[in-house]
Amino acid sequence: MSRIVDKPYFTYSAYTALTSGIQVKCPKCRGLGMVTADRDTAFFRCHSCGHQETSDRTVYRYDVHNQCKRCGRFYRVDIEDEAKQHFSVLHVACPYCGAAMPGEVHRTAQAFSYAAEIREGKEPWFGLELWFLTSFQGKPVWAVNREHLAYLIDYLSADLREKPFGIPGKTQADHLPTFMKTAKNRERIVKLLKKMQEG
């Protein structure tokens, strides 16, 4: 009888890019590439053609703050329109009296982008397709990297699945959709995963 002790919840997710990386298809040559990230920046590098990309993970806030020439009050107006955020000066209306006047656009680092989910088989920073991606009855089945793929095979093949000792709450298996955990599907999904592992 095979048994597996599950992993903590965020072991294999988009956060994996911060440690071991996410394996993806290169947008130029369709070869194997890797997405990694640090606190500020996400990086992509293709192992086949050498193509590289970077993406800033910082979320910026854009605003014009000024003193109104008509009513004398200080104000700040947030600039939500992305098309206007690249201007250095914008005419904005004073929120108190409505007088329009030019003001300098300020860019402030507000936070880091953690809205990082794998969606439709694509990683979140560059929108690149995962290397380990297939489908089962029209639903995507994927792994972020080879280590994650091995975990899925071990987890779905095991006769006994246990929660890790001393870790309350959710585990890695809670990420798995119900169709993957359903007993009647497990064997066929494991075959698909093993085919990806060999490929």
3-43 confidence digits (pLDDT tens):
999 998 888 887 777 778 999 999 999 999 999 988 788 89
54-88 confidence digits (pLDDT tens):
988 777 789 999 999 999 999 999 998 988 988 99
Average pLDDT of the chain is 90
Interval 98-118 mean pLDDT: 79
Q: What is the pLDDT of residue 112?
A: 59
Interval 123-152 mean pLDDT: 94
Length reported for the chain: 199
CA distance 152 to 7: 11
Q: What is the pLDDT of residue 71?
A: 94
Taking the alpha carbons at both ends of the chain, their separation in whole angstroms is 28
Contact 92, 100 (CB under 8 A): yes
* pLDDT tier at 111, thresholds 50, 70, 90: low
pTM: 0.71
